[in-house]
Amino acid sequence: MKVLVCDSISARAVERMRQACLEVDVQDKITAEELLQVIGNYDAMVVRSRTKVRKPVLDAAAKLKVIVRGGVGVDNIDIDYAQAQGVRVLNTPGASTDSVAELTVGYLFALARPIVQATISLKAGKWEKKKFHGAEIQGKTLGVIGTGRIGKAVARRAAAVGMKVLGYDVVASEPVPYLTVTPLDELLAQSDYITLHIPLLESTHHLVDADLIARMKDGVRIIHCGRGGVIDEDALYDALVAGKVAGAALDVFEIEPPKDSKLFTLEQMIGSPHVGASTKEATARIGDEVAELLIAFE
């Protein structure tokens, strides 16, 4: 089976697949145009979040049998069309859970204590000690929208540092002692911090819009390390400017990389370039699971 690796995975995973007699080509900087030219030669492809697998790619993939997404979300793949073409879509949902949860909690602390802004100020030669007055997170309420693997992992860590944790999800999940399931409106009204861990679907596109933000507690802080497009970024910008939202931390954006985003003009917004799963541990686990899936598929 010929495998095209379109995005970076661990060298160990590539070697494991080759030892299992898979023919693996690594082109982890391949462009969309180049992909269209070569995908017809492959039986399998490996992607992460960078590579988009839409109808034109699938139409050109005459031999393709399986797509493996290294990571959780599969919104960069046209799953319905792939399945209609007889192509299976697999992913590695648990491999990056801890890494994304830890980044989320890191942002919790960075919003409570303006570490990023203070660092920028200090490096600019300033000593603005009184400007960067923060708050403790213990005793505060965290609202977790999306209580799957990552949502629960965040909740467990937040509860361990003394936060009250509320959770909401449209899908029922196993109860856990460190999270109280509530209706969405109750979560919005009570939460000092809100973190989003839901997939990007037609029903969740711009879920966090002006109306939803208006139902939140004044001075709320929002963290988003899930899927870009869940937040209406224009509505978030307006809420930050108005002070309704006191701070925001975003690892994902509707367009990546963002172009001329007004959010980047605001000091109270901090962010990162979609690095939730970018740890050496998560990369190793993702690679191992990708290799296992393809070896078993063969």
- Beta partners for 25? 4
pLDDT at 79: 94
pLDDT at 156: 98
Residue (of 51, 49, 85) closest to 65 by Cα position: 85
Active site residue 227: yes
Residue (of 274, 256, 284) closest to 15 by Cα position: 284
Structure tokens at 121: 């100020």
Active site residue 186: no
Q: Which of 227, 233, 285, 289 is catalytic?
A: 227
Q: Which of 149, 197, 274, 285 is catalytic?
A: 274
Active site residue 274: yes
The phi and psi torsions of 256 (rounded to 5 degrees) equal -125, 125
pLDDT at 171: 87
Amino acid at 283: T
pLDDT at 172: 80
Residue (of 178, 191, 174, 184) closest to 211 by Cα position: 184
* Number of Cα atoms under 13 Å in the Cβ half of residue 9: 35
Supply angle C-alpha 65, 71, 76, rounded to 5.
Answer: 65
pLDDT at 298: 65
Domains within the chain, CATH numbers bracketed: 2-92+279-297 (3.40.50.720), 97-271 (3.40.50.720)
* pLDDT profile of the chain (298 residues), mean per 10: 95 96 95 96 95 96 96 89 96 93 98 97 96 96 96 98 97 89 97 96 95 98 96 98 98 94 97 94 94 91
Give the predicted TM-score (pTM) of the model: 0.89
Length of the chain: 298
Residue 57 near residue 78 (C-beta atoms within 8 A) = no
Q: What's the CA gap between 58 and 81, in Å, rounded?
A: 8
Structure tokens at 178: 């460190």
Cis peptide before 257 (omega within 30 of 0): yes
Residue (of 154, 117, 146, 98) closest to 247 by Cα position: 117
Q: Which of 23, 256, 267, 281 is catalytic?
A: 256
